[in-house]
Structure 1
Amino acid sequence: MRARIAAVLATVAGIAALTAGPAAAATAATATSENNPVACAAVLNSPCVWQEANTAGIAGIAQVSADPGQLTLVQVEVRTQKAWGSPWETVASATTVRFGSAKAVTPRVATADLKMVCATAGPALDVARQITTCTHPFAG
């Protein structure tokens, strides 16, 4: 069910990007996770983020499509919330900086707390063009 919701959200994001204009959109891609394939709209400099769960916990994963000559940053965090209304705390993170498209994967986290995965990605030298996106906290 979660994979279907993620696929629908990625499809909607892809359609929105395509309607924004051809310069902002690329082709759709599918990222493979341990559990199910995750549909990602490959929109330039916009991170695709998801969580991958197994018996050892969850890992946050983010990838971003970018021009091969661009120095690209992708940072992904697993955040947890102890109780409703309490602050979100980062419990695992990973950062990748490289030319072109990039991917980052956090260490696995075992928790029963509410959790979400957030990613920031885009041109490493232009913070104003970096985009942050998060999974829904009730996604798993």
Structure 2
Amino acid sequence: MRARIAALALAAAGITGLTAAPAMAAPATSGTDAVACAAVLNQPCVSHQADGEGIVGVAQVSADPGQLTLVRVEIRTQEAWGSPWETVASATTVRYGSATAVTPRVTATAPRLICATAGPALDVSQQVTTCTRPF
């Protein structure tokens, strides 16, 4: 039963990710990278890692080990001031307990921000989204 629920949630997350970010469909990640942040249950922690080769978005969420958890992270850019933010990279992880998602590397130089959505995978009303300030 758990396997069916996990498969259903993963399929739903994939469809949601593809419709929210049609420019790039990202694979699910393993959730092994750590992000230093407060351990507030079901509240996403978002950060980025930048170097000379680009930027990577990272999101982490702490959750009860028995909860099927979703975490999605997106890198968004803005072509010109006042134009809409466009998702250029995203990643989604669905697993039991705490989870981490890491986007593919992006080399965008336009203003960027990182957004993360996380919480119980089977209850969208309890998922929380948070974003960094543009940088």
- Does TM, normalized by the shorter one, top 0.5? yes
1:101 aligns with 2:98: yes
- Identical residues among aligned pairs (%): 73
Secondary structure of 1:128's aligned partner: helix
Aligned length in residues: 103
1:127 aligns with 2:124: yes
The alignment's TM-score, normalised by the length of structure 1, stands at: 0.71
Q: CA deviation at 1:55?
A: 1.1
The alignment's TM-score, normalised by the length of structure 2, stands at: 0.74
Q: RCO higher in 1 or 2 (8 Å CA, sep ≥ 6)?
A: 2
Q: CA deviation at 1:39?
A: 3.8
Matches within 5 A, 1:1-140: 39-138=36-135
Structure with the higher fraction of residues in strand conformation: 1
Q: CA deviation at 1:72?
A: 0.1
Quote the Cα distance in structure 1 between the aligned partners of 2:67 and 2:52.
Answer: 37
Paired letter, 1:68: P
What corresponds to 1:25 in structure 2?
Answer: none
Secondary structure of 1:116's aligned partner: strand
Q: CA deviation at 1:112?
A: 1.0
Quote the Cα distance in structure 2 between the aligned partners of 1:39 and 1:90.
Answer: 24
Q: CA deviation at 1:86?
A: 0.3
Alignment RMSD (CA, Å): 1.2
Q: CA deviation at 1:111?
A: 1.3
Q: Please list the CA deviations of residues 29-75 of structure 1 after superposition, one character each: whole Å capped at 9, or x if unmatched.
A: xx86xxxxx64111000000011101110000000000000000000
Which ranges of 4 or more aligned residues in structure 1 deviate by more than 6 Å? none
Quote the Cα distance in structure 2 between the aligned partners of 1:93 and 1:76.
Answer: 6
